[in-house]
């Protein structure tokens, strides 16, 4: 019985999936929008804080001007004699009269820092303020009498010939609370705006890249054999790509057809001379004729093998070819049941779900036909054919298996290894060239598949053919 040992296909390179173009565009836009909005938020809060400080200082300046006005009026009335008494009576805001209310004022001489007047809210505690020096005015944050932060506005004035320093201070708790609330509202508003921008960018990218999805779907339809050309009705930016892909598909088909034509011409050109040589050698007889006939037969076998490989290689490179496995194998099994009916051979078939072969139907027919025919030749009464889908764990590719088992005598490990040799026949009494399983192995390898031999539960040999499957993931 001729059979096949394990045959590995071409090594497959597993590439890690890259991040999608849409995800990259959305990610970059989201990062930029987040940074830009964050900087804008910081800038807005900073502007608001400065404006709040100016408004806060304006309130303090009003009280300073009121104190200055009272001192100047007193000085004009009696030459400054009762200036201290007038300043001490100032209460332009009720909070200046409430103990530790957070609103304070003091008037002191510039030379010796003698306090000539202070608000009742200080209740005798000093108001620690930084030295103003020769500056006309100054403002800053300091700790107040109650330990809370206050903002102090100071101003140098002269009443008559005497210089004074007027200081008005107010607690900043409400000031900072207002800034915090503004910052919170700005952050909330910018977050909503940012999310809206990201959503708009996402929709823009999805709509903008939709023609690429159409191009991918069209290319997938060609790959699965549902269409012969890619739809070229695309935006002008990517329409040239579709045109070039169609040109590539057309060129591929032309190359395949030329290769098939050359293979056929070569086969016809060599078969006739070899047949003539073989016939002449058989007619002549003798040792030389026998040797010539033997070598002619070897040449014919070699030519048939390599021509078959060339045909298979040409077919393997056709783009967009696929077929369903069930109709092809069912047709083969019906034919085998008729052919081996007189031998009492029954061929059973089982397939789980719909499976498509990523290749031409004639190649699947040739591989399956050789395996089933080989099993029928050696089976005692029963042959089983099972088809199932799987995912190759090494390459993560969609595959399917055709398992052919018989209840014949089977093979030893040595015989299985011997059976894989091209044209090698383990039993010359069985018809055939010995090329069938060699062709199956070569064709499976061209498709990136494998052929494995093992012992069958039926008692004979089990041949397990693994081939690439086509799964529609659109």
**Separation of alpha carbons 452 and 444, rounded Å:** 11
Q: CA distances (Å), 69 to each of 43, 136, 422, in order?
A: 39, 17, 118
**Separation of alpha carbons 421 and 405, rounded Å:** 21
Confidence class for position 474, pLDDT limits 50, 70, 90: low
Confidence class for position 401, pLDDT limits 50, 70, 90: very high
Q: What is the mean pLDDT of residues 374-393?
A: 89
- Would you give the DSSP letter of residue 120? G
- Strands (E) located in 3-126: 103-109, 115-118
Q: Tell me what pLDDT residue 418 has.
A: 66
- Strands (E) located in 327-409: 346-351, 356-357, 382-391, 398-406
Q: What are the contacts of 201-205 at 24+ separation with CB within 8 A?
A: 201/25, 201/26, 201/29, 201/30, 201/33, 202/26, 205/22, 205/25, 205/26, 205/29
**Separation of alpha carbons 309 and 87, rounded Å:** 114
| Model confidence pLDDT, tens digit, residues 248-302 | 888 877 777 777 777 767 766 777 787 778 787 777 777 887 788 878 777 777 7
Q: Tell me what pLDDT residue 80 has.
A: 46
When mean pLDDT is compared across 83-87, 126-130, 226-230, 438-442, the lowest value belongs to 83-87
| Model confidence pLDDT, tens digit, residues 293-352 | 878 777 777 777 666 666 665 555 455 577 899 999 999 999 999 988 888 889 999 998
When mean pLDDT is compared across 85-89, 233-237, 391-395, the lowest value belongs to 85-89
* Residue 316 exposure: Cα atoms within 13 Å on the Cβ side: 17
When mean pLDDT is compared across 52-56, 81-85, 281-285, 312-316, the lowest value belongs to 81-85
Confidence class for position 1, pLDDT limits 50, 70, 90: very low
Confidence class for position 113, pLDDT limits 50, 70, 90: confident
Cα-Cα-Cα-Cα dihedral sign, residues 74, 80, 81, 86: positive
Retrieve residue 82's tokens.
Answer: 């009762």
* Diameter of the chain measured on Cα atoms: 159
Q: Tell me what pLDDT residue 220 has.
A: 78
Classified as helix, coil or strand, 380 is: coil
Q: Which of 351, 403, 405, 414 is nearest to 380 (CA)?
A: 405
**Separation of alpha carbons 62 and 182, rounded Å:** 25
Please say if the pLDDT value at position 36 is more than 90: yes
Please say if the pLDDT value at position 37 is more than 90: yes
């Amino acid at each position: 019985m001729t059979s096949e040992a394990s045959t590995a296909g071409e090594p497959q390179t597993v590439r890690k999936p890259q991040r999608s173009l849409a995800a990259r565009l959305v990610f970059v836009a989201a990062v930029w929008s987040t940074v830009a909005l964050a900087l804008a938020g910081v800038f807005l809060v900073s502007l608001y804080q400065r404006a709040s400080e100016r408004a806060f200082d304006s309130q303090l300046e009003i009280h300073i001007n009121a104190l200055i006005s009272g001192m100047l009026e007193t000085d004009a009335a009696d030459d400054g004699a009762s200036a201290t008494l007038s300043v001490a009576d100032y209460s332009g805001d009720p909070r200046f009269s409430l103990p530790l209310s957070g609103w304070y004022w003091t008037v002191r001489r510039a030379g010796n820092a003698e306090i000539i007047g202070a608000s009742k809210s200080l209740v005798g505690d000093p108001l620690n303020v930084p030295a103003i020096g020769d500056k006309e005015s100054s403002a800053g944050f300091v700790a107040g009498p109650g330990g809370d932060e206050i903002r102090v506005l100071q101003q140098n004035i002269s009443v008559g010939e005497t210089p004074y320093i007027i200081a008005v201070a107010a607690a900043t708790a409400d000031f900072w609370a207002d800034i915090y609330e503004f910052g919170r509202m700005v952050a909330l508003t910018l977050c909503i705006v940012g999310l809206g921008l990201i959503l708009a960018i996402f929709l823009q990218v999805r709509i903008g890249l939709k023609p690429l999805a159409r191009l991918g779907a069209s290319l997938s339809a060609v790959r699965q054999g549902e269409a012969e050309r890619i739809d070229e009705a695309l935006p002008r930016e990517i329409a040239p790509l579709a045109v070039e892909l169609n040109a590539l598909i057309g060129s591929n088909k032309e190359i395949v057809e030329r290769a098939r034509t050359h293979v056929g011409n070569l086969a016809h050109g060599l078969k006739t001379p070899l047949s003539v040589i073989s016939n002449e050698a058989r007619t002549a007889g003798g040792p030389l004729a026998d040797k010539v006939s033997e070598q002619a037969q070897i040449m014919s076998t070699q030519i048939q093998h390599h021509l078959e490989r060339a045909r298979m290689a040409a077919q393997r490179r056709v783009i967009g070819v696929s077929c369903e496995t069930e109709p092809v194998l069912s047709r083969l099994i019906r034919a085998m049941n008729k052919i081996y009916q007189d031998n009492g051979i029954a061929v059973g078939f089982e397939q789980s779900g719909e499976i498509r072969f990523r290749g031409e139907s004639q190649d699947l027919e040739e591989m399956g036909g050789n395996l089933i025919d080989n099993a029928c030749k050696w089976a005692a009464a029963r042959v089983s054919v099972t088809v199932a889908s799987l995912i190759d764990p090494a390459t993560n590719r969609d595959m399917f298996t055709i398992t052919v088992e018989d209840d014949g005598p089977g093979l030893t490990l040595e015989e299985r290894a011997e059976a894989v040799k091209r044209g090698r026949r383990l039993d010359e009494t069985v018809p055939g060239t010995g090329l069938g399983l060699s062709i199956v192995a070569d064709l499976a390898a061209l498709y990136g598949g494998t052929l494995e031999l093992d012992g069958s539960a039926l008692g004979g040999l089990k041949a397990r053919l693994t081939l690439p499957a086509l799964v529609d993931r659109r």
